[in-house]
Amino acid sequence: MPPLRADQWGQPEYAAFAALLNLPADKVPRAGSGGALDPLNFDIIGMLARHPEMARVFLGFNGFLLQRGELSGRLRELVILRVAHRHRSAFEWGQHVRLGAAVGVTADDVAALTEGNDGFDGTDRLVLDATDELLATGRADWSTWEALVDALGEHAAMELIFIVGTYTLTAMAFGTWGLQPQPGTAALPKRGDTA
């Protein structure tokens, strides 16, 4: 499914992108303007904006998880990378290797993620084990939930569950629509391969 062309962007589509950016719609650069936030630079946005009302609500929610949530950026990115690897989402893997580097996810962490959880300890290990449990069973055991709350606080623990669900959803959508990784981003390693 191709992203919207410049001539297909209107007020509802700009409002959807604005929800992610936490800006008024009239402050979003116009499609084709060539700026850093030109909507045409983001195939993901151009695909989601094909349903602008749904995209506006979803991007507002996802923007909260990415920019305003209480779960640390490092833990958030470890979770997203695990979901991307398990669900074989090349687009999300490439994007979040880059985003993870900005919040302390190292190349060694990325390589270790492809091998399981043995390369992690402490809160990192707890969060990855919980992510695996959620992906495998669709829920976390109560003991896992209590350990997450003890380690992260209730709000961040809640966000972790929503991040796993959100990025499982996007992996399904982007896989179905054929969203390709952005040029220059890290390639999704095969299962068991290091990055």
The domain boundary, picked from 67, 85, 112, lies at 67
CATH number of the domain enclosing 89? 1.20.1290.10
Token pair belonging to 27? 């402050």
Give the dihedral sign, CA 100/105/108/112: negative
| 118 and 156, same domain (yes or no) | yes
The domain boundary, picked from 45, 67, 89, lies at 67
Q: Could you list the pLDDT tens digit for every one of the 195 residues in the chain?
A: 999 999 999 999 999 999 999 899 999 999 999 999 999 999 999 999 999 999 999 999 999 999 999 999 999 999 999 999 999 999 999 999 999 999 999 999 999 999 999 999 999 999 999 999 999 999 999 999 999 999 999 999 999 999 999 999 999 999 999 999 988 999 999 875 444
- Report pLDDT for 190: 81
**192 belongs to a structural domain:** no
**Cα separation, 131 vs 6, whole angstroms:** 38
- The CA angle 106-71-108, to the nearest 5 degrees, is 10
| 49 and 136, same domain (yes or no) | no
The total number of structural domains in the chain stands at: 2
- Report pLDDT for 178: 93
**Cα separation, 185 vs 98, whole angstroms:** 7
| 24 and 87, same domain (yes or no) | no
**Cα separation, 97 vs 101, whole angstroms:** 6
**143 belongs to a structural domain:** yes
| 12 and 82, same domain (yes or no) | no
| 52 and 145, same domain (yes or no) | no
- Report pLDDT for 194: 42
| 116 and 132, same domain (yes or no) | yes
**191 belongs to a structural domain:** no
Residue type, 180: Q
23-29 own/partner pairs: CB under 8 Å, 24+ apart: none
**34 belongs to a structural domain:** yes
**Domain coverage including residue 142:** 71-177
How many other CB atoms are there within 10 angstroms of residue 32's CB atom? 13
| 102 and 39, same domain (yes or no) | no
